[in-house]
Amino acid sequence: MLEVSDITAGYGNSTVLTGVSLSIERGEAVTVLGANGAGKSTLIQAIAGLTPIRGGEIRFEGERIHGLSAARIVRRGLVLCPEGRHLFPQMSVRENLMLGAYSHKIRRSAIAAQIDEVLEIFPALKEKRTVYAGSLSGGEQQMVAIGRALMAKPRLLLLDEPSLGLAPLLVQTVMRVVGEINQRGIAIGLVEQNAAAALELVSRGYVLEAGSVVIQGSAQELSSDDRVRAAYLGVVEQAAD
């Protein structure tokens, strides 16, 4: 479904990504783990068409998408839910959700039905559809941001740090919802610092360090890898006596 092959990207004279390759199959959930500054956001923005690549290739559903505008990539079914949510605080939940459908230019009646469908996934927002987004809790705002991305009818949903700044209980709620979205057949590309939460959700993952993939494997393999356990899961192995 998504094939990222040997890409290089950066800003100005700075190179952030070097020779990065990864793949996501239809219906799969895959994570990219890494510390701050590892290049995770640059990678996901490059895939979504927000950051140009300097080398390599990005294909979605067999077609090259690097060089296309972000809007055209969204229309093809690859949608990014960005870090920081980027909601309009003085607009209602419903109005924020509506913005996600504009890339498809569908009828207002269809938009209304689509909003109802999205709110079925986020029942906590049903009674707050007319409330200003800026008055919601951090967890509720993240749900609105994910819901807005779903309004664009993605086949692959990219999520950039959805757990950032949330309390542990809200992290569990958001990850549970992401899992439910994946069970509906939507592929997930999850960029996360919260490795424990991410690895419970996905089937495979990649670890990015200094702009390069240094480890890849199944969720189980990553969870048992000593380097991942020490750096991202907070597990320190005891030396043998």
Q: What's residue 236's pLDDT?
A: 54
- Domains, the chain, with CATH or none: 2-231 (3.40.50.300)
- Tokens linked to 108: 């207002």
Q: What's residue 241's pLDDT?
A: 42
- Tokens linked to 166: 């949330």
Helix (H) or strand (E) segment spanning residue 41: helix 40-47
| Cα–Cα distance, 199 to 215 (Å, whole number) | 14
CA dihedral 116, 117, 121, 127 (to 10 degrees): 0
| Cα–Cα distance, 46 to 43 (Å, whole number) | 5
Question: What is the pTM assigned to this prediction?
Answer: 0.90
Residuewise pLDDT in 10s, the chain (241 residues): 999 999 999 998 899 999 999 999 999 999 999 988 899 999 999 999 999 999 999 999 999 999 999 999 999 999 999 887 788 899 999 999 998 887 666 677 788 888 888 899 988 898 899 999 999 988 899 999 999 999 999 999 999 999 888 888 888 988 999 999 999 999 999 998 899 999 999 999 999 999 999 999 999 999 999 999 998 887 655 544 4
Q: What's residue 237's pLDDT?
A: 55
CA-based torsion, 97, 101, 103, 107: positive or negative: negative
Q: What's residue 82's pLDDT?
A: 87
Between the CA of residue 102 and those of 135, 163, 181, what are the distances in Å? 24, 26, 21
